C-alpha cells in the first residue's frame, strides 16, 4: 500500500475502480515516479504519458489527492494482479487470527445441532479457528460422559474442515475443543453453501451466552 504524500502518517488501500490510468488522468501536472522508483519530477500529464509509452508501460495515478498528484510508470495489468494477491493474503491472515466461539448443551436437539454445525463449518472453511464449548448447567455436571460423547461427535462431524488442537478438556463447567482449519485444498463443505452468508446468525450464539449465565446462577 502506498503512502499518500499529503497525509504521510496514514496508509490507505488502493481501490482499483478509483484509479485513473493513462488518458483518464485529469491533472495538468503530475509528480512522476519511474518503474525503478526513480523520480522524474513534476511533468505535464502529456509528457508523463509520453514517458510511459516510450517505456512500453502505463501511467497510473496512485496518489490522486497529493499536490500535485503522484503517478507511477508501471505495467498496470501486473500491478493489479500483485495487489489482488496481497489483498487475498491479508484477508487470509486476518481470518486466521479470528477465533469463533460456539456453545452446545447436552440436551441440544438435532435441529440446533445442525445449525451450529453449519456455523462451525463455515467459519473453519473460511480459515477461522472455532472454539467449541459443551456447557454444563446446574446438575448437568453429573452427565460429563454424555457431554464428552457430544464433543467427540462434533470433532468427527467437522473433520472435513478442521482438526483438534488437543483432546477435549474439562475446564470449570465446560468441555472445550479448539479446532484449526485443515489446509485449504483439503477443506470441503458438507452442511453449507458458499453462496450463503452464515455469520449474520451470530446473534443466536450471543443469546446462548445470556442463558448460560442465568442458568448457572440459578443452580
What is the residue extent of each domain of the chain?
3-76, 94-218
Across 32-36, 81-85, 128-132, least confident range: 81-85
- From the list 153, 148, 101, 147, the residue with the least C-alpha distance to 124 is 101
What pLDDT does 23 receive? 87
Q: Which comes out higher in pLDDT, residue 10 or 191?
A: 191
**Rounded distance, CA 97 to CA 88, Å?**
14
163: which 3 cell numbers?
482438526
Check pLDDT > 50 for residue 2.
Answer: no
SS3 39: strand
d(CA 22, CA 45): 9
pLDDT at 36 over 90: no
**Cα distance between residue 191 and residue 162, in whole Å:** 14
Q: What is the dihedral of CA 165, 167, 171, 177, to 10 degrees?
A: 50
Amino acid 97: pLDDT: 66
Among 143, 145, 141, 121, which residue's Cα sits nearest to residue 132?
121
Please tell me the distance from the alpha carbon of residue 144 to that of residue 171, in angstroms, as a whole number. 12
Q: How far apart are CA 14 and CA 213, in angstroms?
A: 45
The answer to whether the beta carbons of residues 77 and 56 sit under 8 Å apart is: no
Q: What is the mean pLDDT of the chain?
A: 82
What's residue 157's pLDDT?
97
Q: Which three cell numbers stand for residue 18?
A: 478509483
- Residue 140: all three cell numbers together: 448437568
Q: How far apart are CA 47 and CA 12, in angstroms?
A: 28
pTM, to two decimals = 0.52
Name the band, by pLDDT with cuts 50, 70 and 90, for residue 1: very low
Confidence bin at 199 (pLDDT 50/70/90): low
- Which range among 38-52, 150-164, 187-201 has the greatest average pLDDT? 150-164
Res. 11: pLDDT tops 60: no
The pLDDT value given to residue 82: 84
Q: Would you state the pLDDT for residue 81?
A: 84
Domain 3-76: assigned CATH number: 3.10.20.80
20 or 175: which leads in pLDDT: 175
The pLDDT of residue 217 is 44
Per-residue pLDDT of 84-123, as tens digits, reads 877 777 666 666 668 899 999 999 999 999 999 999 999 9
| CATH code of the domain occupying 94-218 | 3.30.110.10
Q: Cell 462434533, residue?
A: 154
Instruction: Tell me what percent of the residues of the chain surpass a pLDDT of 70.
Output: 77
Residues 3 and 11: beta-carbon distance below 8 Å: yes
pLDDT the model gives residue 9? 40
Q: Is the peptide bond before 68 cis (omega within 30 degrees of 0)?
A: yes
Amino acid at each position: 500500500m502506498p503512502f499518500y504524500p499529503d497525509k504521510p502518517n496514514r496508509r490507505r488501500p488502493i481501490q482499483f475502480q478509483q484509479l485513473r490510468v493513462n488518458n483518464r488522468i485529469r491533472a495538468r501536472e503530475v509528480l512522476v515516479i519511474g518503474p525503478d522508483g526513480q523520480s522524474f519530477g513534476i511533468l505535464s500529464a502529456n509528457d508523463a504519458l509520453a514517458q510511459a509509452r516510450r517505456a512500453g508501460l502505463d501511467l497510473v495515478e496512485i496518489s490522486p489527492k497529493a499536490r500535485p498528484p503522484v503517478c507511477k510508470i508501471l505495467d498496470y495489468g501486473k500491478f493489479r494482479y500483485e495487489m489482488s494477491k496481497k489483498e487475498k493474503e491479508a484477508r487470509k491472515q486476518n481470518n486466521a487470527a479470528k477465533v469463533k466461539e460456539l456453545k452446545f448443551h447436552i440436551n441440544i436437539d438435532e435441529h440446533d445441532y445442525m445449525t451450529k454445525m453449519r456455523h462451525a463449518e463455515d467459519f473453519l472453511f473460511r480459515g477461522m479457528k472455532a472454539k467449541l464449548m459443551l456447557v454444563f448447567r446446574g446438575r448437568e455436571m453429573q452427565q460429563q460422559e454424555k457431554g464428552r460423547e457430544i464433543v467427540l461427535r462434533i470433532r468427527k462431524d467437522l473433520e472435513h474442515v478442521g482438526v483438534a488442537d488437543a483432546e477435549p478438556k474439562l475446564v470449570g463447567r465446560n468441555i472445550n475443543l479448539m479446532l484449526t482449519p485443515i489446509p485449504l485444498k483439503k477443506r470441503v463443505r458438507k452442511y453449507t453453501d458458499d453462496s450463503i452468508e452464515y455469520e449474520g446468525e451470530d446473534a443466536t450464539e450471543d443469546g446462548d451466552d445470556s442463558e448460560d449465565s442465568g442458568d448457572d446462577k440459578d443452580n
